[in-house]
Structure 1
Amino acid sequence: MFLNSAEILFGDLADKEIILSRIREIPVSTERRITDLAENVIIKQTIGLKHSQVFSVALDESTDLNDLSRLTIVARYYENNHIYEDLCCLLSLRDTTKAEDKLTAFISYFAKHDIDLSKLFCVTIDGAAVMVGKKKRFVKLLKNHINQKLLHFHCITHQESLCAKTSSLNLDSVMTTVVKIVNFLVSHSHLLTFKSLLQEIECEYGNLLLYRNVRWLSQGKVLTKFIGCLEAIKVFLNKNTIFS
């Protein structure tokens, strides 16, 4: 599992193969140790949420590569003069993704860990219709369940994404050129040569990113790597004058 994840996590690094070889050398006992550490983190987080007088949560839903809907819950709480912000869980929504289903999964998680939901005072959501509404949306149903008022906010990352879609109209010509160049460089006929050039000049990045307009802030990430590899791109394009 970790090795498969590492292929994605370190895929754009120049020394990817060295990192993967080190991971393959990790003994099974170390893997068990990592599992134990992960369980210990959950235990400490649960204790922190129980001891904290109040806490807030941020929720987001996405679909994984297997088309399975996942509900992410991140908690923010105060304990021992420190503010903690940790991932609680990644819940599977196997049947439907209605507000009632999300509420059931949400309540079940906190009930399983014996965490008092009456301490919850704030919820940050993605602004989707299923999450916000007057009658049968998640926030409203949650308020009814705990029988108290809740502050709720629209996630800033989603707001940035929405703003980016609007403001990106001014960058259409730039992105069109960048995407055209990136597609040329990462095509099968040029990818290995370009990656070798990046290694040769010791570039910060080992490869470029393909633009995905369905992913949050993908445009910014593509442009950041493009600028980071700009010198190598100029050299490569000068050698391959067929690009136009």
Structure 2
Amino acid sequence: TAPQFNENTSNAVTASYIIAYKVAQAKKPHTIVEQLVLPCANEMVRLVFGEEAARKLNDRSVFNNTISKVINEISQNINEQVVDEIKKSPFFAIQLDESTNVALCSQLLVFARYMVEGDFKDEFLFCCSLDTITKAQDMMEIVNNFFEVHGLDWANLVGVTTDGASAMLGSGSVFQTLVKQRIPMVIGVHYFIRREALASKTLSDQLNAIFKGLVKVVNYIKSSALNTRLFKGFCQDMGSDFDVLLFYTSVRWLSAGNELNRVLQLREELNLFLQPEGKEEF
């Protein structure tokens, strides 16, 4: 979903909204516009079109405070579009996930799936910070308040999927029960099953031994700053496309495929690099 612009909006204001939208999409801080984007744009326009054209870029619509405000307005506009589409859909389902970000801030994320022109559409619905200890009843109140403020009808909800700590949204919580008190026919499911994660737990003994051996090789090089630098220089001297190995962690299950793919791409370099080391276990 993209923001919608008024036809009567001036070009300068429209440009500020487009820039803010691109910055938000790239997940960059809004201050990058005034610090980097605008100075670079000024230089390019000045060199190509002259000073007069460059002066037109010095507009307050791209200053830090303005860009921050514009990003919030775009977010609100997109949210209104999503809510409007949900209202037009005959039914919809929601997914909830309670997690903690890198700043140790607990958050409730809610996604929605609904029908648009006969096809399913998935969109992010809202995010809410959880400042204190929060139970399933509090989660229910947060979702219910959002529904009431935006005019969403519980009667059109057909499915709820939860993922998160068991004390809040887990299979043993009362959140699903609270939802079914409102809509008895709603389908409740806990945990988004990750097939790759499940498959990795049932590897054959032979394949698992190979995988653990490759992880051991990578850890041997990555655990030493000297080995890391030597291997990087070795790969650069050989003209390799890559010069850095990737770590594997069981928590981030997708990292296994990334690590194995990188080992495959650098298999010749690894073989030549480890030969002088005399590591027979590899």
Is the TM-score greater than 0.5?
Answer: yes
- On the 8 A contact 1:129/1:137 being kept in 2, the answer is no
Match status 1:26 vs 2:37: yes
- Residue 90 of structure 2 aligns to which amino acid in structure 1? Q
SS state at 2:177 partner: helix
Cross-structure match for 2:271? 234
Match of 1:178 among 201, 214, 224: 214
User: In 2, Cα distance between the equivalents of 1:168 and 1:37?
Assistant: 50
Displaced runs of 4 or more, over 6 A = none
Cross-structure match for 1:46? 83
User: In 1, Cα distance between the equivalents of 2:111 and 2:262?
Assistant: 29
Cross-structure match for 1:109? 146
- On the 8 A contact 1:93/1:101 being kept in 2, the answer is no
Match status 1:147 vs 2:147: no
Match status 1:98 vs 2:135: yes
Query: What's the CA shift string for 1:79-111, capped at 9, x where partnerless?
Result: 234421112233222222432232223223333
Specify whether residues 66 and 182 from structure 1 end up closer, same or farther in structure 2 by C-alpha distance, changes over 3 A only. Answer: same
Cross-structure match for 2:241? 202
Specify whether residues 72 and 159 from structure 1 end up closer, same or farther in structure 2 by C-alpha distance, changes over 3 A only. Answer: farther
User: In 1, Cα distance between the equivalents of 2:198 and 2:130?
Assistant: 25
Is the radius of gyration larger for structure 1 or structure 2? 2
CA shift, 1:120, in A, is 0.9
Q: Which protein, 1 or 2, shows the higher relative CO under an 8 Å CA cutoff with sep ≥ 6?
A: 1
- Residue 241 of structure 2 aligns to which amino acid in structure 1? E
User: In 2, Cα distance between the equivalents of 1:113 and 1:74?
Assistant: 15
Cross-structure match for 1:65? 102
RMSD: 3.7
CA shift, 1:52, in A, is 1.3
Specify whether residues 153 and 36 from structure 1 end up closer, same or farther in structure 2 by C-alpha distance, changes over 3 A only. Answer: same
CA shift, 1:68, in A, is 2.4
CA shift, 1:156, in A, is 4.4
User: In 2, Cα distance between the equivalents of 1:5 and 1:194?
Assistant: 32
CA shift, 1:73, in A, is 1.5
CA shift, 1:77, in A, is 0.9
Specify whether residues 183 and 119 from structure 1 end up closer, same or farther in structure 2 by C-alpha distance, changes over 3 A only. Answer: same
User: In 2, Cα distance between the equivalents of 1:210 and 1:128?
Assistant: 26
Cross-structure match for 1:188? 225
- On the 8 A contact 2:99/2:164 being kept in 1, the answer is no
Q: Give 5+ residue unaligned stretches, structure 1.
A: 7-20
User: In 2, Cα distance between the equivalents of 1:113 and 1:170?
Assistant: 55
TM-score by length of 2: 0.63
Overall identity of the aligned pairs, in %? 27
- On the 8 A contact 1:182/1:209 being kept in 2, the answer is yes
SS state at 1:201 partner: coil
User: In 2, Cα distance between the equivalents of 1:107 and 1:191?
Assistant: 52
SS state at 2:245 partner: coil
SS state at 2:122 partner: strand
CA shift, 1:193, in A, is 4.6
Aligned residues: 223
